[in-house]
């Protein structure tokens, strides 16, 4: 993988290759595998991601704690019947970002992109682009490669861990990856892809990780919605030719720096932020871990399997 | 040339670490395929459990797991207890039995306890310490879940190590006699197993030497048995790679 966005851009310039190709070539070289094998495995990841979105949109199965369940389905029904002002693209993105996160929160199967707590964003944007922009599965795989290239740079320069860098490192990174993929799939230049990363991440800086009850539920699910919407807007800013004055690599660096300076209570410890509010604490106390909650999980899992 | 800023220094340290531990792949970023809810606290914790199982060499009868930092406060909500149990039982991150793994562990007679642990200010904020037992066998391991399901093992049986779980790894404890490293590496070469990283160390001359070999190819049961068969080998363990 790459140490900077600039390095990926430089490689694309010097080889006159699209970004997805640059990332694919690097993967082939580093892993010693073939292009066919990489593409085949990415196709498998797409299938798992698609299944999670589809199940999440129709299922009312509760999460481990019972705090979540059926929200994606209710939103999607409302959106289709009441006429959302978001338009079909952003509307579907909002519904789908919730769908994967609900499956994740009931211990269903998802693909971490780059983490499970931020797994709603990339699939929401890819599958909506497929439907609304008429993209093929081959396009989606190319989108995954661009997203992976961006994610690799973030891991090398900062972090994708909420415990290390807060929510900005998780949903911020996922949104930057998804925005980059969308820009590339819509024919954006490599420079515009890099601008998408900068525009996305600048809006996510400082976001803390404050999960109620230490669950990956509240506010993780709705933070995926915010990140996904940010990703779409940032992609369009870049496609319109706007430039963010601070380069993507520097925005990534400062995200890492802010993460290092965040107090421990804002880094996935459930000791601060929304987790520490009066209601957050009450909800945490109401989750019964060893008794019914555990059985609920098994029951939820059984329902989850029936959904397939 | 100007001195590097602290930020540049930290970054170059991270990059050095990434190079040493084996670099990130596309499938680390787009993956793992896993049972939720947390890549670091569920899938990463499971992978640390898998590696600890490898260090012991079998399913533990007793396991004490120390939870450091974020793990100590969020382990239940993130399903870390179930993930660790699943890893110690040898399950993969997408195994559908993970939600019920505590029952499976109980059924297998595994005694599993979790407790908060302070691994010091330098430990990654999501770290686990394993103390495992099976019959007369004992093993300890310390590792961190560094995000997105990636892990780092920093200590095995009290010795500092740097393992990413990206390679099949052979850990050999041997008498400190001449030729042991050559014999083991020769055996690997015969089997067509390429060595990616090799570390040899010992506490004192003439005592016990340890070899830590990370390989590009799978280390088979047969190869492990042949290493174990050297008369000067006290213990040989194989940790299967945990990335996909």
Tens-place pLDDT, residues A143-196: 999 999 999 999 999 999 999 999 999 999 999 999 999 999 999 999 999 999
- The pTM score is 0.91
The tally of CA atoms less than 13 A away on the side-chain side of residue A262 is: 31
How many Å lie between the alpha carbon of A111 and the closest alpha carbon of chain B?
A: 4
Find the CB nearest A112 among B14, B18, B32: B32
**pLDDT of the residue at A294:** 30
Find the CB nearest A268 among B70, B146, B216: B70
Whether the pLDDT of residue B124 is over 90: the answer is: yes
Place of tokens 């569920």: B42
Whether the pLDDT of residue B9 is over 60: the answer is: no
Q: Give pLDDT tens digits for A7-30.
A: 999 999 999 999 999 999 999 999
ipTM given for this complex: 0.92
Q: Do B37 and A44 touch (CB under 8 A)?
A: no
**B residues 121..160 contacting A (CB < 8 A):** 124-126, 145-150
Find the CB nearest B26 among A64, A145, A164: A145
B42 interface with A at CB cutoff 8 Å: yes
Cα-Cα-Cα-Cα torsion A46, B152, B140, B179, nearest 10 degrees, comes to: 110
Q: What are the C-alpha distances in Å from B88 to residues B60, B91, B135?
A: 7, 8, 16
Where does the pLDDT of residue B227 fall: very low under 50, low under 70, confident under 90, or very high at 90 and above?
A: very high
Please, is B190 exposed, middle or buried when counting C-beta atoms within 10 Å of its C-beta (0-12, 13-18, 19+)? exposed
Cα-Cα-Cα-Cα torsion A59, A61, A65, A68, nearest 10 degrees, comes to: 30
Q: Do B40 and A162 touch (CB under 8 A)?
A: yes
Evaluate whether A95 touches A72 at the Cβ level (below 8 Å): yes
Whether the pLDDT of residue B17 is over 80: the answer is: no
Contacts of B42 in chain A (CB under 8 A): 116
């Amino acid at each position: 993988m790459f140490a900077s966005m600039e390095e990926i851009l430089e490689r694309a310039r010097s080889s006159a290759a699209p970004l997805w190709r640059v990332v694919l070539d690097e993967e082939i070289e580093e892993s010693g595998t073939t292009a066919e094998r990489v593409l085949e495995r990415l196709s498998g990841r797409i299938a798992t991601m698609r299944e999670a979105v589809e199940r999440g949109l129709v299922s009312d199965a509760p999460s481990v704690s019972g705090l979540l369940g059926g929200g994606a389905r209710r939103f999607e029904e409302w959106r289709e019947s009441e006429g959302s002002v978001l338009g079909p693209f952003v509307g579907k993105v909002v519904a789908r970002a919730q769908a994967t996160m609900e499956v994740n929160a009931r211990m269903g199967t998802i693909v971490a992109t780059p983490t499970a707590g931020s797994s709603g964003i990339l699939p929401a944007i890819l599958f909506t682009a497929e439907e609304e922009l008429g993209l093929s599965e081959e396009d989606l795989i190319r989108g995954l490669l661009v997203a992976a290239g961006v994610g690799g740079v973030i891991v090398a320069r900062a972090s994708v861990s909420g415990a290390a860098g807060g929510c900005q490192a998780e949903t911020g990174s996922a949104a930057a990856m998804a925005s980059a993929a969308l820009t590339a799939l819509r024919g954006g230049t490599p420079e515009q892809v890099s601008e998408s990363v900068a525009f996305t991440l600048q809006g996510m800086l400082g976001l803390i990780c404050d999960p109620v009850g230490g669950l990956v539920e509240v506010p993780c699910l709705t933070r995926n919605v915010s990140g996904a919407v940010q990703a779409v807007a940032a992609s369009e800013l870049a496609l319109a030719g706007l430039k963010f004055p601070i380069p993507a690599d520097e925005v990534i660096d400062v995200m890492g720096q802010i993460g290092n300076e965040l107090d421990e209570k804002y880094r996935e410890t459930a000791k601060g932020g929304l987790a520490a509010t009066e209601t957050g604490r009450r909800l945490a106390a109401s989750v019964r871990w060893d008794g019914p909650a555990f059985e609920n999980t098994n029951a939820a899992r059984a329902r989850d399997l029936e959904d397939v | 040339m100007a001195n590097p800023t602290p930020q540049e220094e930290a970054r170059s340290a991270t990059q050095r670490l990434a190079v040493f531990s084996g670099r990130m792949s596309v499938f680390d970023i787009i993956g793992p395929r896993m049972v939720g809810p947390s890549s670091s606290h569920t899938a990463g914790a499971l992978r640390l459990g898998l590696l600890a199982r490898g260090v012991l060499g079998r399913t533990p009868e007793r396991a004490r797991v120390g939870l450091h930092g974020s793990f100590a406060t969020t382990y239940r909500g993130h399903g870390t207890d179930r993930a660790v149990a699943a890893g110690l039982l040898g399950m993969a991150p997408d195994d559908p039995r993970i939600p019920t793994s505590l029952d499976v562990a109980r059924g297998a007679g595994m005694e599993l306890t979790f407790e908060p642990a302070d691994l010091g200010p330098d430990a990654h904020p999501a770290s686990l310490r394993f103390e495992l037992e099976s019959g007369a066998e004992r093993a300890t391991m310390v590792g961190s879940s560094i995000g997105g399901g990636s892990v780092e093992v920093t200590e095995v049986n009290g010795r500092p190590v740097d393992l990413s779980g990206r390679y099949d790894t052979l850990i050999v404890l041997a008498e400190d006699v001449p030729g042991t490293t050559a014999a083991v590496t020769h055996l690997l070469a015969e089997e067509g197993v390429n060595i990616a990283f090799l570390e040899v160390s010992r506490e004192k001359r003439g005592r016990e030497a340890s070899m830590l070999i990370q390989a590009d190819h799978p280390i088979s049961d047969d190869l492990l048995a042949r290493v174990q068969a050297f008369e000067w080998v006290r213990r040989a363990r194989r940790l299967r790679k945990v990335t996909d």
